[in-house]
């Protein structure tokens, strides 16, 4: 049963928010069958972003990444379901949109790697870390979807 409650962190980046595709992205995750258990829109602080991208701090693009991510509002979400981390990454497409297949979020909506619309956790462990960084436990909702028995 625990595998059905796997969680991932998904963030719609400032360019996705500004382009008005929040609903389209949510629709794709809902249509797939994943359950939204947390969501908020916020202007991410530089401190939060530096913690979130700590593994990239030595990369030459780190300052521009933090600047880009703090340039506008972000929609932070937690999605739940069987294999949501791996499947979510497939749904996003490759980090570089030029390498993303049509049908993926980045393949359908992105052109340049520096504005690639969305972030998704790359492992169950990083999902746990990212979720705890962006959400307090009381901001996440536990419930059974009426579609649960039709999905599993």
Q: Active-site residues: which are they?
A: 119
In this structure, the dihedral spanned by the alpha carbons of residues 114, 117, 122 and 127, taken in order and rounded to 10 degrees, is 130
* Cβ atoms of residues 3 and 82 within 8 Å: yes
Contacts with 146 (C-beta within 8 Å, 6 or more apart), sequence order:
none
Q: Which tokens sit at 98? A: 């030029």
128 belongs to an annotated ligand binding site: no
33 backbone dihedrals φ, ψ, rounded to 5°: 115, 5
115 belongs to an annotated ligand binding site: no
61 belongs to an annotated ligand binding site: yes
116 belongs to an annotated ligand binding site: yes
95 belongs to an annotated ligand binding site: yes
Angstrom distance (rounded) from CA 73 to CA 3: 32
62 belongs to an annotated ligand binding site: no
Binding residues for ATP: 13, 61, 89, 95, 106, 116
């Amino acid at each position: 049963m625990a595998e059905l409650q796997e969680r991932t962190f998904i963030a719609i980046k400032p360019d996705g928010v500004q382009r008005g595709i929040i609903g389209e992205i949510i629709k794709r995750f809902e249509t797939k069958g994943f359950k939204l258990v947390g969501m908020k829109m916020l202007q991410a602080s530089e401190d939060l972003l530096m913690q979130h991208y700590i593994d990239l701090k030595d990369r030459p693009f780190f300052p521009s990444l933090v600047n880009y991510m703090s340039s506008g509002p972000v929609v932070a979400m937690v999605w739940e379901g069987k294999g949501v981390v791996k499947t979510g990454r497939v749904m996003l497409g490759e980090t570089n949109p030029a390498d993303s297949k049509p049908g993926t979020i980045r393949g359908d909506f992105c052109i340049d790697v520096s504005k690639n619309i969305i972030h998704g956790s790359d492992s169950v462990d990083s999902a746990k870390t990212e979720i705890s960084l962006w959400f307090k436990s009381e901001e996440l909702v536990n419930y059974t979807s009426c579609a649960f028995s039709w999905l599993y």
